[in-house]
Amino acid sequence: MAQTSASSVEPKKLLTKIHLLSTVWFVLSVAYVMVLALRQAGFDWWLIFSLSGYSAVVIIFILSIYLFAVFRGATRVQEPAIEHPLTSTTAYMALYSASPVLGGLAGLLGTIGVTTARQFGLGVAVGTLAVTFMVWIIVDPLAGVVEITLPRCRQHRRERLAQAQQLREEQKRQRQQLLDELETQEIAEQLHRQQLLAPDAQKLAQLVMAENNLATPTAELEAIEMGVKAWQKGGIGCMQQLHQMVLEICRQNPGSSNVVDFISIWWDGIGQWRSGSLAYKS
């Protein structure tokens, strides 16, 4: 087991080193071609190295190519190897990562007979860019398309996507089921509280209607006690439910349009209760 894990780590380390070396070589080649082209066009050094000059366009273009290659590699690693029988192999990944260096070697072979150092460096750099562009932008996407058309890869991809869709639907169903259970539990708790609060609701409704017609000094104290009890039972939600029950009882009595909502005044300051509208409207 230890030997197997060690053998799997070694290729990854090697690929990492190859990728790092190729990236450095690729950046140097791009910089060389860019500087040489701008110098031949007559630009001064200060403009070449200024991001506000024409070099910014070249840098953004080359950076886009490199980021596309990195994105392609990261996407391929996340997908199962069975869907990429070619591009997921160590040999292919090594070739993919080493393409800038291989392009430099190809450019080196193409400079045989060149006498000037500038043309020699330009040949190596252009070979690097050409091979890198060919492998990263053309060959690798085409290889991915070919892999998708293989029957076994296509079948596994369909099964994987179907399983992912099924998992998402199952998670959605579980979330909906949890919401339904919470809603059912909340309704049951409200019904239970309604039974417990029914006596206080009747008494509070009598106090409100009595206070509306006759001045009752003890009504406020009794209402405050019932409000505190409701707060202790279930917080602001319990107080609001009791308040609505009282208003409903008042609504069922004649002349309810003239009833003043004294509860909003009496309960002001109990828990999180704040006085709202003073007048009760049917």
Report yes or no: 128 and 25 within 8 Å, Cβ to Cβ.
yes
pLDDT of residue 1: 45
Residue 9 CA from chain centroid, whole number: 31
The pLDDT value recorded for residue 152 is 82
* Stronger pLDDT, 59 or 237, i.e. the higher one: 237
The fraction of the chain above a pLDDT of 90, given in percent, is: 6
Higher pLDDT, 7 or 98: 98
Percentage above 70 pLDDT, the chain: 73
Give me the residues paired with residue 40 across strands.
Answer: none
pLDDT digits (tens, 9 = 90+) for 197-234: 888 888 888 888 876 655 566 788 888 888 888 888 88
Lowest mean pLDDT among 9-23, 34-48, 49-63, 181-195: 49-63
pLDDT of residue 174: 93
For position 77, what pLDDT does the model report? 57
Q: What is the mean pLDDT of residues 68-88?
A: 66
Distance CA 64, CA 112 (A): 32
pLDDT band at 52 (very low <50, low <70, confident <90, very high): very low
**Model-level pTM?**
0.47
Q: Where are the domains of the chain?
A: 2-149, 187-266
Instruction: Examine the pLDDT at 280 and tell me if it is beyond 70.
Output: no
Q: Where is mean pLDDT largest: 96-100, 172-176, 265-269, 274-278?
A: 172-176
Would you state the pLDDT for residue 234? 83
| Mean pLDDT of all residues in 136-151 | 84
- Sign of CA pseudo-dihedral 257, 261, 262, 263: positive
Q: Does position 276 have pLDDT exceeding 60, yes or no?
A: no
How confident is the model at residue 279, as a pLDDT? 40
> HEC profile for the chain?
CHHHHHHHHHHHHHHHHHHHHHHHHHHHHHHHHHHHHHHHCCCCHHHHCCCCCCHHHHHHHHHHHHHHHHHHHHHHHHCCHHHCCCCCCHHHHHHHHCHHHHHHHHHHHHCCCCCCHHHHHHHHHHHHHHHHHHHHHHHHHHHHHHHHHCHHHHHHHHHHHHHHHHHHHHHHHHHHHHHHHHHHHHHHHHHHHHHHHHHHHHHHHHHHHHHHHCCCCCHHHHHHHHHHHHHHHHHHHHHHHHHHHHHHHHHCCCCHHHCECHHHHHCCCCCCCCCCCCECCC
Sign of CA pseudo-dihedral 261, 266, 269, 272: negative
Pair of tokens at residue 221: 């104290």
pLDDT at residue 15 in the model: 77
Beta-bridge partner residues of 279: 260
- What pLDDT shows up at residue 269? 80
What contacts 24+ positions apart, CB below 8 Å, involve 151-160? 152/82, 153/82, 153/83, 153/84, 153/85, 156/80, 156/82, 156/83, 157/83, 160/80, 160/83
Amino acid identity of residue 160, one-letter, is: R
Instruction: For 28-59, give the secondary structure using H, E and C.
Output: HHHHHHHHHHHHHCCCCHHHHCCCCCCHHHHH
As a whole number, the mean pLDDT across the chain is 77
The yes-or-no verdict on residue 16 having pLDDT over 90 is no
